[in-house]
Structure 1
Amino acid sequence: MKKLLFFSLTFLLFHFAQAQDTDIPFKKKDYPLDANKKLSYSIIQEVPKASKDELYSRALSWINEAFKDQPGVIKLQDKDNGKIVIEGSTEDSYSVKTLGVLVPKKYYQNVKMEFSIKDGKYRLIMSPFQIENIAARFGGSYIPSSKRPIERYYEQIPDSYSFNTLTSLEKTQLYSSKTILIKAGRFADSTLLSVKGYMAKATVPVKKDDW
Protein backbone atom coordinates (compact mmCIF):
# COMPACT_ATOMS: atom_id res chain seq x y z
CA MET A 1 0.00 0.00 0.00
CA LYS A 2 1.13 3.46 -0.75
CA LYS A 3 2.45 5.19 2.36
CA LEU A 4 0.22 7.93 3.66
CA LEU A 5 1.57 11.40 3.01
CA PHE A 6 3.16 12.93 6.06
CA PHE A 7 1.20 16.19 6.04
CA SER A 8 -0.36 15.37 9.41
CA LEU A 9 -1.37 17.73 12.15
CA THR A 10 1.70 18.94 13.96
CA PHE A 11 1.06 16.97 17.10
CA LEU A 12 0.97 13.76 15.07
CA LEU A 13 4.65 14.17 14.32
CA PHE A 14 5.34 13.02 17.87
CA HIS A 15 6.48 9.44 18.14
CA PHE A 16 4.17 9.25 21.18
CA ALA A 17 1.08 9.18 18.98
CA GLN A 18 -0.90 5.99 19.50
CA ALA A 19 -3.23 4.15 17.14
CA GLN A 20 -6.94 4.78 17.00
CA ASP A 21 -8.87 1.62 17.74
CA THR A 22 -11.17 1.51 14.72
CA ASP A 23 -11.49 3.01 11.26
CA ILE A 24 -14.11 5.66 10.41
CA PRO A 25 -16.51 5.13 7.48
CA PHE A 26 -15.61 7.67 4.80
CA LYS A 27 -16.27 8.10 1.07
CA LYS A 28 -14.06 10.60 -0.74
CA LYS A 29 -16.61 10.92 -3.56
CA ASP A 30 -19.04 12.51 -1.09
CA TYR A 31 -16.74 15.54 -0.70
CA PRO A 32 -17.20 17.95 -3.65
CA LEU A 33 -14.11 19.37 -5.34
CA ASP A 34 -14.31 22.23 -7.83
CA ALA A 35 -12.38 22.58 -11.10
CA ASN A 36 -9.33 23.69 -9.11
CA LYS A 37 -9.47 20.61 -6.84
CA LYS A 38 -10.64 22.73 -3.91
CA LEU A 39 -13.30 21.53 -1.50
CA SER A 40 -16.38 23.55 -2.42
CA TYR A 41 -19.99 23.56 -1.24
CA SER A 42 -22.67 25.65 -2.91
CA ILE A 43 -26.36 26.35 -3.20
CA ILE A 44 -28.47 28.10 -5.83
CA GLN A 45 -31.95 28.98 -4.63
CA GLU A 46 -34.82 30.71 -6.35
CA VAL A 47 -37.03 32.98 -4.25
CA PRO A 48 -39.45 34.14 -6.97
CA LYS A 49 -41.28 36.80 -4.97
CA ALA A 50 -38.17 38.48 -3.56
CA SER A 51 -36.36 41.47 -4.98
CA LYS A 52 -32.59 41.69 -5.26
CA ASP A 53 -32.49 44.34 -2.52
CA GLU A 54 -34.52 42.20 -0.14
CA LEU A 55 -32.35 39.13 -0.73
CA TYR A 56 -29.24 41.26 -0.25
CA SER A 57 -30.63 42.59 3.03
CA ARG A 58 -31.56 39.07 4.18
CA ALA A 59 -28.06 37.82 3.40
CA LEU A 60 -26.51 40.59 5.50
CA SER A 61 -28.91 39.85 8.36
CA TRP A 62 -27.98 36.17 8.27
CA ILE A 63 -24.26 36.99 8.27
CA ASN A 64 -24.60 39.40 11.20
CA GLU A 65 -26.47 36.77 13.19
CA ALA A 66 -24.28 33.79 12.27
CA PHE A 67 -20.99 35.63 12.83
CA LYS A 68 -22.03 38.12 15.53
CA ASP A 69 -18.92 37.31 17.55
CA GLN A 70 -16.59 37.97 14.62
CA PRO A 71 -16.38 41.69 13.76
CA GLY A 72 -14.87 42.41 10.37
CA VAL A 73 -15.99 39.11 8.87
CA ILE A 74 -17.44 40.88 5.80
CA LYS A 75 -14.67 41.56 3.27
CA LEU A 76 -16.78 42.86 0.38
CA GLN A 77 -20.19 44.54 0.16
CA ASP A 78 -21.28 45.48 -3.35
CA LYS A 79 -25.02 46.05 -3.38
CA ASP A 80 -25.15 47.26 -6.98
CA ASN A 81 -23.63 44.04 -8.27
CA GLY A 82 -25.24 41.85 -5.63
CA LYS A 83 -21.97 40.59 -4.15
CA ILE A 84 -21.08 39.84 -0.52
CA VAL A 85 -17.86 38.10 0.48
CA ILE A 86 -17.10 36.99 4.01
CA GLU A 87 -14.22 35.15 5.65
CA GLY A 88 -15.45 33.39 8.75
CA SER A 89 -13.95 31.06 11.30
CA THR A 90 -15.28 28.38 13.63
CA GLU A 91 -13.47 26.61 16.44
CA ASP A 92 -13.73 22.84 16.56
CA SER A 93 -12.02 19.91 18.24
CA TYR A 94 -11.68 16.16 18.32
CA SER A 95 -9.80 13.68 20.47
CA VAL A 96 -6.95 11.31 19.64
CA LYS A 97 -5.53 8.55 21.75
CA THR A 98 -2.10 9.54 23.02
CA LEU A 99 -0.23 7.33 25.47
CA GLY A 100 -3.49 5.47 26.03
CA VAL A 101 -5.40 8.65 26.94
CA LEU A 102 -7.90 10.57 24.81
CA VAL A 103 -6.46 14.05 24.30
CA PRO A 104 -8.61 16.88 22.82
CA LYS A 105 -7.12 18.70 19.83
CA LYS A 106 -8.48 22.14 18.98
CA TYR A 107 -8.35 23.92 15.64
CA TYR A 108 -9.96 26.75 13.69
CA GLN A 109 -11.78 26.11 10.44
CA ASN A 110 -11.50 29.18 8.23
CA VAL A 111 -13.75 29.49 5.19
CA LYS A 112 -14.55 32.02 2.49
CA MET A 113 -18.23 32.45 1.60
CA GLU A 114 -19.45 34.38 -1.44
CA PHE A 115 -23.05 35.46 -2.08
CA SER A 116 -24.13 36.38 -5.62
CA ILE A 117 -27.60 37.91 -5.65
CA LYS A 118 -30.17 38.77 -8.33
CA ASP A 119 -33.89 39.46 -8.38
CA GLY A 120 -35.60 36.29 -7.20
CA LYS A 121 -32.41 34.25 -6.98
CA TYR A 122 -29.09 33.91 -5.18
CA ARG A 123 -26.04 31.66 -5.07
CA LEU A 124 -23.73 30.91 -2.15
CA ILE A 125 -20.32 29.27 -2.57
CA MET A 126 -18.29 28.08 0.42
CA SER A 127 -14.64 27.72 -0.63
CA PRO A 128 -11.74 27.58 0.10
CA PHE A 129 -11.43 25.97 3.53
CA GLN A 130 -8.33 26.34 5.67
CA ILE A 131 -7.43 24.45 8.85
CA GLU A 132 -5.54 26.40 11.51
CA ASN A 133 -4.13 24.17 14.22
CA ILE A 134 -3.95 25.86 17.61
CA ALA A 135 -0.60 25.93 19.39
CA ALA A 136 -0.38 23.56 22.34
CA ARG A 137 1.98 21.94 24.81
CA PHE A 138 2.53 18.20 25.06
CA GLY A 139 4.50 17.21 28.12
CA GLY A 140 7.52 19.49 28.08
CA SER A 141 7.31 20.20 24.35
CA TYR A 142 5.68 23.11 22.55
CA ILE A 143 3.74 22.50 19.33
CA PRO A 144 3.44 25.71 17.26
CA SER A 145 0.32 26.69 15.37
CA SER A 146 0.06 25.90 11.66
CA LYS A 147 -2.23 26.65 8.72
CA ARG A 148 -2.97 24.27 5.88
CA PRO A 149 -5.59 24.07 3.12
CA ILE A 150 -8.13 21.38 3.93
CA GLU A 151 -7.18 19.57 0.71
CA ARG A 152 -3.97 18.46 2.44
CA TYR A 153 -6.08 16.29 4.72
CA TYR A 154 -8.18 15.08 1.80
CA GLU A 155 -5.02 13.96 0.01
CA GLN A 156 -3.88 11.99 3.05
CA ILE A 157 -6.84 9.63 2.73
CA PRO A 158 -5.98 6.86 0.23
CA ASP A 159 -8.62 5.59 -2.16
CA SER A 160 -8.02 2.08 -0.83
CA TYR A 161 -6.03 0.60 2.04
CA SER A 162 -5.99 -2.18 4.62
CA PHE A 163 -6.54 -0.61 8.03
CA ASN A 164 -4.93 -3.48 9.92
CA THR A 165 -1.65 -3.05 8.05
CA LEU A 166 -1.24 0.62 8.96
CA THR A 167 1.23 1.73 11.59
CA SER A 168 0.02 3.42 14.76
CA LEU A 169 1.00 6.83 13.43
CA GLU A 170 -0.71 6.21 10.08
CA LYS A 171 -3.93 5.16 11.80
CA THR A 172 -3.89 8.29 13.94
CA GLN A 173 -3.15 10.44 10.90
CA LEU A 174 -5.97 8.80 8.94
CA TYR A 175 -8.39 9.30 11.83
CA SER A 176 -7.45 12.99 12.11
CA SER A 177 -7.79 13.67 8.38
CA LYS A 178 -11.16 11.95 8.12
CA THR A 179 -12.49 13.69 11.22
CA ILE A 180 -11.53 17.13 9.90
CA LEU A 181 -13.21 16.45 6.53
CA ILE A 182 -16.34 15.01 8.16
CA LYS A 183 -16.69 18.00 10.48
CA ALA A 184 -16.18 20.41 7.55
CA GLY A 185 -18.89 18.63 5.57
CA ARG A 186 -21.35 18.77 8.45
CA PHE A 187 -20.60 22.45 9.01
CA ALA A 188 -21.13 23.24 5.32
CA ASP A 189 -24.37 21.26 5.12
CA SER A 190 -25.81 22.91 8.23
CA THR A 191 -24.72 26.37 7.03
CA LEU A 192 -26.34 25.95 3.61
CA LEU A 193 -29.52 24.66 5.23
CA SER A 194 -29.58 27.65 7.59
CA VAL A 195 -29.06 30.13 4.75
CA LYS A 196 -31.72 28.44 2.62
CA GLY A 197 -34.32 28.69 5.36
CA TYR A 198 -33.42 32.29 6.19
CA MET A 199 -33.40 33.53 2.60
CA ALA A 200 -36.72 31.84 1.81
CA LYS A 201 -38.39 34.29 4.20
CA ALA A 202 -37.65 37.22 1.89
CA THR A 203 -41.06 38.39 0.69
CA VAL A 204 -40.65 41.87 -0.82
CA PRO A 205 -41.95 41.39 -4.38
CA VAL A 206 -39.91 42.08 -7.47
CA LYS A 207 -41.08 45.28 -9.17
CA LYS A 208 -42.58 44.73 -12.60
CA ASP A 209 -41.07 46.59 -15.51
CA ASP A 210 -43.26 49.44 -16.79
CA TRP A 211 -42.95 48.10 -20.31
Structure 2
Amino acid sequence: MKKILLIAILVLSVKTLIAQDLTFPIDSVTQKASYSQVVQVKGSKNELYSKAIEWFASMFKSSKNVIQLDDKDAGKIIGKFVAYDSNQGPVTCTLTIMLKDEKYKYILDNIYFNGNRSYPGWGLEENPSMLKANMFKYAINSIKKNSKQNIEGLITTLKTAMEAEKSTEF
Protein backbone atom coordinates (compact mmCIF):
# COMPACT_ATOMS: atom_id res chain seq x y z
CA MET A 1 0.00 0.00 0.00
CA LYS A 2 2.82 2.40 0.87
CA LYS A 3 4.52 1.67 -2.45
CA ILE A 4 1.32 2.46 -4.38
CA LEU A 5 0.89 5.72 -2.46
CA LEU A 6 4.51 6.66 -3.07
CA ILE A 7 4.21 5.94 -6.80
CA ALA A 8 0.98 7.98 -7.01
CA ILE A 9 2.64 10.96 -5.27
CA LEU A 10 5.66 10.71 -7.57
CA VAL A 11 3.48 10.59 -10.70
CA LEU A 12 1.45 13.59 -9.52
CA SER A 13 4.65 15.52 -8.72
CA VAL A 14 6.05 14.90 -12.20
CA LYS A 15 2.72 15.86 -13.84
CA THR A 16 2.61 19.06 -11.77
CA LEU A 17 6.14 20.00 -12.83
CA ILE A 18 5.37 19.26 -16.48
CA ALA A 19 2.11 21.27 -16.34
CA GLN A 20 3.86 24.41 -15.08
CA ASP A 21 4.68 27.21 -17.47
CA LEU A 22 8.41 26.89 -18.01
CA THR A 23 8.64 29.48 -20.78
CA PHE A 24 10.53 32.72 -20.37
CA PRO A 25 9.65 36.05 -21.98
CA ILE A 26 11.60 36.42 -25.22
CA ASP A 27 13.26 39.64 -26.40
CA SER A 28 12.00 40.44 -29.91
CA VAL A 29 15.45 41.52 -31.11
CA THR A 30 17.80 38.95 -29.59
CA GLN A 31 15.30 36.07 -29.41
CA LYS A 32 16.78 35.29 -25.97
CA ALA A 33 15.08 35.05 -22.58
CA SER A 34 14.69 38.52 -21.10
CA TYR A 35 12.58 40.36 -18.54
CA SER A 36 12.21 44.10 -19.10
CA GLN A 37 9.92 46.83 -17.84
CA VAL A 38 9.80 50.60 -17.38
CA VAL A 39 8.34 51.34 -13.96
CA GLN A 40 6.94 54.72 -12.89
CA VAL A 41 7.78 55.54 -9.26
CA LYS A 42 8.10 58.60 -7.07
CA GLY A 43 11.59 59.95 -6.56
CA SER A 44 14.48 61.72 -8.19
CA LYS A 45 17.14 59.87 -10.14
CA ASN A 46 19.47 60.12 -7.11
CA GLU A 47 16.83 58.80 -4.71
CA LEU A 48 16.07 55.88 -7.01
CA TYR A 49 19.79 55.21 -7.42
CA SER A 50 20.17 55.00 -3.62
CA LYS A 51 17.25 52.58 -3.41
CA ALA A 52 18.70 50.38 -6.15
CA ILE A 53 22.15 50.24 -4.52
CA GLU A 54 20.53 49.45 -1.16
CA TRP A 55 18.50 46.70 -2.81
CA PHE A 56 21.64 45.12 -4.32
CA ALA A 57 23.31 45.25 -0.90
CA SER A 58 20.35 43.56 0.79
CA MET A 59 19.84 40.86 -1.87
CA PHE A 60 23.37 39.58 -2.37
CA LYS A 61 26.02 38.39 0.07
CA SER A 62 28.57 40.60 -1.61
CA SER A 63 27.01 43.24 -3.83
CA LYS A 64 30.54 44.42 -4.70
CA ASN A 65 31.13 41.07 -6.43
CA VAL A 66 27.77 41.30 -8.21
CA ILE A 67 27.83 44.90 -9.42
CA GLN A 68 29.89 45.18 -12.61
CA LEU A 69 29.02 48.79 -13.46
CA ASP A 70 27.98 51.52 -11.01
CA ASP A 71 27.54 54.92 -12.70
CA LYS A 72 25.53 57.25 -10.49
CA ASP A 73 25.83 60.20 -12.90
CA ALA A 74 24.47 58.18 -15.83
CA GLY A 75 21.93 56.47 -13.56
CA LYS A 76 23.00 52.97 -14.54
CA ILE A 77 23.82 49.87 -12.51
CA ILE A 78 24.68 46.48 -14.00
CA GLY A 79 24.98 43.33 -11.93
CA LYS A 80 25.85 39.74 -12.86
CA PHE A 81 24.88 36.92 -10.54
CA VAL A 82 23.78 33.32 -10.09
CA ALA A 83 19.99 33.10 -10.27
CA TYR A 84 19.88 29.40 -9.41
CA ASP A 85 22.57 26.91 -8.45
CA SER A 86 21.68 23.32 -9.29
CA ASN A 87 23.74 20.17 -8.86
CA GLN A 88 24.25 20.20 -12.62
CA GLY A 89 25.62 23.76 -12.65
CA PRO A 90 24.62 27.40 -12.10
CA VAL A 91 22.15 29.57 -14.00
CA THR A 92 23.58 33.06 -14.38
CA CYS A 93 22.05 36.30 -15.60
CA THR A 94 22.63 40.04 -15.91
CA LEU A 95 20.46 42.75 -14.36
CA THR A 96 20.67 46.27 -15.76
CA ILE A 97 18.87 49.08 -13.94
CA MET A 98 18.61 52.49 -15.66
CA LEU A 99 17.34 55.36 -13.56
CA LYS A 100 15.68 58.69 -14.37
CA ASP A 101 13.53 61.06 -12.37
CA GLU A 102 10.21 59.39 -11.53
CA LYS A 103 11.01 56.11 -13.33
CA TYR A 104 13.46 53.30 -13.85
CA LYS A 105 13.89 50.49 -16.32
CA TYR A 106 15.18 47.04 -15.52
CA ILE A 107 16.42 44.48 -18.01
CA LEU A 108 17.20 41.00 -16.74
CA ASP A 109 18.80 39.02 -19.55
CA ASN A 110 21.70 36.74 -20.47
CA ILE A 111 19.87 33.97 -18.61
CA TYR A 112 22.08 30.97 -19.18
CA PHE A 113 22.57 27.53 -17.67
CA ASN A 114 26.35 27.24 -17.48
CA GLY A 115 26.54 23.53 -16.78
CA ASN A 116 29.76 21.90 -15.62
CA ARG A 117 32.14 19.22 -16.89
CA SER A 118 29.30 16.72 -17.26
CA TYR A 119 26.58 19.04 -18.55
CA PRO A 120 26.88 21.46 -21.47
CA GLY A 121 25.39 24.95 -21.17
CA TRP A 122 22.23 26.27 -22.83
CA GLY A 123 20.05 29.37 -22.77
CA LEU A 124 16.85 29.08 -20.75
CA GLU A 125 14.79 30.17 -23.75
CA GLU A 126 15.79 26.84 -25.32
CA ASN A 127 14.09 23.49 -24.93
CA PRO A 128 17.19 21.34 -25.18
CA SER A 129 16.83 17.68 -25.96
CA MET A 130 17.93 15.23 -23.31
CA LEU A 131 20.79 14.32 -25.63
CA LYS A 132 22.02 17.92 -25.99
CA ALA A 133 21.67 18.71 -22.28
CA ASN A 134 23.00 15.28 -21.24
CA MET A 135 20.28 15.07 -18.56
CA PHE A 136 16.75 13.83 -18.12
CA LYS A 137 13.84 16.12 -19.05
CA TYR A 138 12.85 16.25 -15.36
CA ALA A 139 16.22 17.83 -14.51
CA ILE A 140 15.95 20.31 -17.40
CA ASN A 141 12.44 21.32 -16.29
CA SER A 142 13.54 21.57 -12.67
CA ILE A 143 16.37 23.95 -13.59
CA LYS A 144 13.97 26.10 -15.65
CA LYS A 145 11.26 26.10 -12.95
CA ASN A 146 13.59 27.02 -10.10
CA SER A 147 15.40 29.65 -12.16
CA LYS A 148 12.12 31.25 -13.24
CA GLN A 149 10.81 31.31 -9.67
CA ASN A 150 14.02 32.88 -8.36
CA ILE A 151 14.20 35.47 -11.14
CA GLU A 152 10.56 36.50 -10.84
CA GLY A 153 10.90 36.66 -7.06
CA LEU A 154 13.98 38.85 -7.42
CA ILE A 155 12.10 41.23 -9.75
CA THR A 156 9.26 41.44 -7.22
CA THR A 157 11.68 42.40 -4.43
CA LEU A 158 13.28 45.02 -6.70
CA LYS A 159 9.90 46.61 -7.47
CA THR A 160 8.94 46.59 -3.80
CA ALA A 161 12.24 48.21 -2.78
CA MET A 162 12.00 50.88 -5.47
CA GLU A 163 8.43 51.80 -4.49
CA ALA A 164 9.10 51.91 -0.75
CA GLU A 165 9.13 55.26 0.99
CA LYS A 166 12.47 56.12 2.56
CA SER A 167 12.28 56.25 6.32
CA THR A 168 13.99 59.22 7.95
CA GLU A 169 14.00 57.52 11.35
CA PHE A 170 16.81 55.40 12.67
For Structure 1 versus Structure 2, the TM-score category normalised by the shorter chain is 0.7 to 0.9
Contact 2:48 2:162 in 1 (8 A): yes
CA contact (8 A) 1:31 1:185 kept: yes
For 1:114, which of 58, 71, 96 is the aligned residue? 96
Match of 1:163 in 2: none
After superposition, what is the alpha-carbon deviation per residue over 1:95-142, rounded to whole angstroms, capped at 9, x for unaligned? xxxxxxxxxx352221100001100100111101122335xxxxxxxx
Which stretches in structure 1 are left out of the alignment for 5+ residues? 1-19, 94-104, 135-143, 158-166, 205-211
How far 1:151 moved relative to its partner? 3.6
Structure 1 counterpart of 2:7:
none
On the 8 A contact 1:130/1:150 being kept in 2, the answer is yes
| Corresponding residue number in structure 1 for 2:78 | 85
- Per the TM alignment, residue 155 of structure 1 is displaced from its structure 2 partner at its CA by 2.6
Give the one of 34, 39, 45 matched to 1:45.
Answer: 39
Question: How many percent of aligned residue pairs carry the same amino acid?
Answer: 26
Instruction: Number of aligned residue pairs: give it.
Output: 150
Q: Determine which structure has the larger helix proportion and give its number.
A: 2
Contact 1:76 1:86 in 2 (8 A): yes
1:5-154 to 2 correspondences below 5 Å = 22-23=14-15, 24-27=18-21, 30-35=23-28, 36-48=30-42, 50-69=43-62, 71-93=64-86, 105-134=87-116, 144=117, 148-151=121-124, 154=126
* In structure 2, distance between residues paired with 1:123 and 1:186: 21
Could you state the TM-score of these two structures normalised by the residue count of structure 2?
0.75
Structure number with larger C-alpha Rg: 1
| Greater per-residue strand proportion | 1
Match of 1:196 in 2: 159
Separation in 2, partners of 1:201, 1:70: 20
* Higher RCO (CA-CA < 8 Å; seq separation 6+): 1
Identify the range of structure 1 (78-87 vs 61-70) with the bigger mean alpha-carbon deviation: 61-70
TM-score by length of 1: 0.61
